[in-house]
Structure 1
């Protein structure tokens, strides 16, 4: 049975999604491939191979409490991160007070963990879902587990379980206990629907950032099963593999059809244009670990080069027409071609407006069409030529 995804981080999205914060600055909209974040057939093949390698990797990497067959040691569960840790100790009296307030008995292992540390971040933060050969295989992230008292406590008036149920729309099924990276839009809950308020609850993931009722996804039959199943984020770290893949793409992947045309027509405006693009993109990947264009100097040079080639081939262009045409050069294209696969339109618009303010791009008086100022076009070509050395 297919699982509703919610905040599940699928392997089929990880190559793009895990770097999302790096690719897009806070508040900037990222425009993705029309068919989804992960749309290349060759990337999907790479992903299938990666899932098989990761299955072996999960057997090789042994971190505290990471295998269900191990005996569970509460003293090896918590990380040193104290952001979600509540002040004071989880005494019998405090536990009883919180249970009375919430109307539910906490699992014995939950209380045992709070005796070691009164809430906090676990060492292992990823809950695996599916198997390596499952297309929907992925994981949920739990950043913090709530303790007793303080801002992040289960009983907190500000962010506690009752607050999340009453103010954020979490369902009346038990206790909101696990913090996710979404800032409140999804969380882990202890689910007492089957066992009753005094029983051993299941663990579910709940997403409330929907237009419908909260989306509830079962994760584990008990809290003990849940914490024993957590694995370290390194199990899902693909950064080095992604970088090597992107470098190989920069070296040898075919250009998009539109960029291919523009490079072929470049002539003396930008001799050896394809090699320049490949080397520039290679440097961008070396610096960032992936191929994406932002507001940094090398990204601005890439914007300059695309504009140079486009105007050389098509003549002066109006602002909106160019911003629309931009997508066909290094953003979207057939599977396997050299491209970013998505972009933040604001970065490109900001670059263009900056060049207009600097008068490096000028508008023709009669038509308002845009082209490089002659001296700046020469400057861009000289900077690009450095990549041929």
Structure 2
């Protein structure tokens, strides 16, 4: 029988799968309730919340103490079942009053439950208004956008053509994409895509009654994904719906249809929870920065498109640019970036050079973000050089894992987010060009001496 000391050691080392494997190797009839509790805890820590709850409900009522309710509440909270989570943490709080962790979780899930109820009310009100409009037209079925002029809906730009716009979606393409996504697309979505298959609309903001991480009263989108797979920004593309769900952790409740200016940290989705995979989905905003918090937007896709407004409605660009300039001029570097700059003796005033490059980025874009433009690429080069000159045997994945600790989420001097594909694409391009190579052992990667020399020459100009 495995001892508690070993289980605790694995838990403290985040080796939760070891706990699962060890306990599952014990015959079920020989497992004690204590081991079952350990197993439920490990499943919770592995994100397998349904399995954790199944195990917890093997406990008889008399054995359900504060720890049991805490673990149940944790599972319910991560499944967005906030009413049950509130009940569980409230019971834990009664059984073990004064525990700060329990009190903090109870406050958290109460706030989430309130938000969830507000979304339900907004959804019900929007659907009631939609029903009234349908009844006013005597219930006559109409084609989507029957009374809407969409001739000037899309913005015309080379960037949109390159990143979003796909060829006309045939019935076969639509069927293939729907099969891959697991959901039937709304007829209004298909009709819009048959006017132009993906792109950047002229109106990119949508009013909200609840605040989000983007703004108190609206969200913004970057573009609408087309039906296809040949471009990253398409429903079945490399950065499409399944990628955002499987790699970024967005809830598997529908289809991601719009990316947002946060470069992946919030999205707009079609929500099929209430209607099923063949029904008419609602449109929601999902905010990764707030634990994938959901905000109701519209009762259907057509209403969402009709509700989009121009960014000038919420124009804060001058204030945003001023704040970004202040951040790049005076914001504190992350501990990692500060340490790397202190070690980079080859470049005089490296911190000032980084700030100047980023100031020019803000002046050009109006905000602080790194994409695939020339100055952003220079900042990717600088960060990689600083990191690899200070660390031996840097692996590709190791660098990608640590990248966010420098500027992307680097505290005050930070873009506040990033798209991993930009970094991996930059890295692949540099390796293909021969600027980044493996070391002799074939494990670590680094710039060639020639690439470093070129980078230092560029930095001399700042």
Given the two structures, how large is their TM-score scaled by the length of structure 2? 0.39
Per residue, is there more helix in 1 or in 2? 2
Structure with more relative contact order (C-alpha pairs < 8 Å, separation 6 or more): 1
